[in-house]
Amino acid sequence: MSTILFSNASVILEDRVLAEAQVEVVQGRIRAVGAAHGATSDTATRIVDLKGDYLAPGFIDLHVHGGDGADFMDGTDDAFRTVCRAHLRHGTTSLLPTSTVARHEQIIAFLQCCRRQCYGLGERDLWRSDMATRGARVLGAHLYGPYFGADARGCHPAGPLRPPTRAEFQRYLEFADCILRATVAPELPGAEDFVSACRERGIGCNVGHSHATFEQMEAAIAWGVRHVDHLFCAMSDRARLRQEQTYPMRGGVMEATLYFDELTTEVIADGKHLNRELLLLAAKIKGPQRLALVTDCNRALDMPDGDYIFGPRDGGEPIIRRDGVGIMPDGKSLASGVMGMDHAVRTFQHLTQAPLMEVIRMASLTPARIAGRDRDLGSIAPGKVADLVVLDRSLQVRDVYLAGRRV
């Protein structure tokens, strides 16, 4: 039986930081967490002295497209492995590969890769010999597009945008065993049918890239939608909807997201998408239990500034990496993120001065719950998988452990 004892650690729990603590890991799962009580006499136990550094749960990214030159929509196993290895370096131990607006056959290829790359959390899967070479764990797909509002498409290509039709989405839902979340703009015809079909198969539903009204958001919640993608980005608000109706002024997706307690949401905390005030507003209204950090990262993570393609190389949108973010070629709008989750944690904590355990929770336990995987992942607690990140005092990643194995 493989046993590891992390000692002399500042353990970041879901509600506090436990100083001078230790965490015992047996066969890939956490067996005990508590105050340090000296070295064990068991010679079979490997002791890892953290010398006061932080021990955090592995980060979980609900919304991520690529990294290290690859995009999940490249539709190959090699691209999946490249992206997952890149994000593992930034402390992300589990993620949801996120698609883009694309042609039907490209989305099918993406889902086929997800099915091959996804693996479970049982003991046999935790200790597969190839696990360490695959990078961050693929929990399941985030089916993101093509069902977006045309005026809210952001950096996604316009050509393949379309409303959901049963003939098409039934083909996607044949992969329901490996789809965890699906996004739709609720104002589109067929949106309710799509959400209902997803919910029947246990798939969680999001609103994203939408100019829906507050009233349409209420309807979507009644259908079963429970999450909203990248708060403040590619969504309607009072000002946007006023362009279509002089009076009375109406609320949109943003106002509904902040108002309804039923809705969780996420922010891209790279310091470029949202300023301090918007991060503070999101944190105050939604709180760490209903607000997740995401990277929305494209293939330019860990790559030099320059020109890239967002989404599939065939038919994706040209973008530019510049000044730590993706932007459109005209320089007038953003085009997803280029920084890892460790950067998001540092940025959110620095800008908001939120308690560290709350920021870490937004990068781990909250996304685990949104993904429906919090029974096994998301916090340092007995019985959970030992996906762990060692952070120094400046919150830089020092080491990453996947099911108790250093990777």
CA distance 399 to 26: 18
> CATH no. for residue 182?
3.20.20.140
Task: Report the pLDDT value the prediction gives residue 42, as an integer from 0 to 100.
Answer: 63
The number of distinct structural domains making up the chain is 1
CA distance 270 to 267: 9
Task: Report the pLDDT value the prediction gives residue 120, as an integer from 0 to 100.
Answer: 75
Residues of the chain with confidence (pLDDT) below 70 = 1, 38-43, 123-124, 127-133
**Does residue 390 lie within any of the structural domains?**
no
Give the domain extent around 64.
Answer: 58-377
Task: Report the pLDDT value the prediction gives residue 1, as an integer from 0 to 100.
Answer: 55
Question: What is the three-class DSSP state of 205?
Answer: strand
**Does residue 46 lie within any of the structural domains?**
no
**CA-wise closest residue to 192 among 161, 172, 166, 211:** 166
pLDDT in tens, 189-228: 999 999 999 999 999 999 999 999 999 999 999 999 999 9
**Does residue 388 lie within any of the structural domains?**
no
CA 45 to chain centre: 34
**CA-wise closest residue to 203 among 113, 124, 126, 139:** 139
pTM: 0.96
Rounded to 5 degrees, φ, ψ at 302 are 65, 25
Task: Report the pLDDT value the prediction gives residue 130, as an integer from 0 to 100.
Answer: 56
Task: Report the pLDDT value the prediction gives residue 2, as an integer from 0 to 100.
Answer: 83
**Does residue 324 lie within any of the structural domains?**
yes
**Does residue 41 lie within any of the structural domains?**
no
**Does residue 144 lie within any of the structural domains?**
yes
Question: What is the three-class DSSP state of 389?
Answer: strand
**Does residue 363 lie within any of the structural domains?**
yes
CA distance 316 to 362: 30
Q: Locate 194 and state its tokens.
A: 């799509």
**Does residue 29 lie within any of the structural domains?**
no
